Amino acid sequence: MEHAKKIAAILLEKQAVTLNIDAPYTYASGIRSPIYCDNRRLIFYPDARRTISAAFCEEVKPFAPDVIAGTATSAISWAAWVADAFDKPMVYIRKAAKGYGKQQLIEGGSIEGKTVVVLEDLVSTGGSSLNAVQACQDAGARVLAMIAIFTYQFAEVMPKFVDANCQFGFLCNFSTLIEVAEERRLFAPEKLAIAREWNRDPQNWGPSHGFPNEAK
């Protein structure tokens, strides 16, 4: 993917990626990790917005969906920019239905009978992302693909999307990110080695280094 290194450079330049070996981060899944990717920082920078939006458009275009969807809250802005570029309807998917008003899970309009591409800022284990896909399918849509800015490349993720009958795409992945960080000498080699070690066995890295995973 030709834009992967460009996106990796943006993630690093905008300090969306941080490494903390001594006090690892806790993911939503409960996994402990020495690396964290905060893509919410990217909307602050006009140049990053333009580049990432253009890359999203390039990936979305072949699917020609009826509707662009974004996961709440992190991908709402990306979905809006991409939908605007294609002059398409846009919706966003909540993590849970509202507890008041119309109690909707999907906001914007009906997607029943429509084809949809869902945009996501980051995929780790794929759990919350696939919940968004399922929500669209339950609403009567055919989800053609989910496309994320970044994925940690966990081996368990792709089979989950196959089971959900949904293609999975991304603009940048873990191996490209680490490659670019190494080329630019942005982190000490030993820290990058630890990040690679974690990525090979994310479920067991924390416990084996004295940082138990959190039950979710």
Binding site feature residues for orotate: 124
CA geometry: angle at 63 spanning 70 and 45, to 5°?
45
- Which is nearest to 39 in space by CA: 47, 30, 29, 49? 49
SS3 at position 167: strand
> How many helices and strands in the chain, by DSSP H and E?
8, 10
Q: Is 47 exposed, middle or buried (0-12, 13-18, 19+ CB in 10 A)?
A: exposed
- How many whole angstroms from its chain centre is CA 123? 4
- Which residues belong to the annotated binding site? 94-95, 98, 120-128
Positions at the binding site for 5-phospho-alpha-D-ribose 1-diphosphate: 94-95, 98, 120-128
- Measure the N-to-C terminal CA separation of the chain; round to a whole number of Å: 34
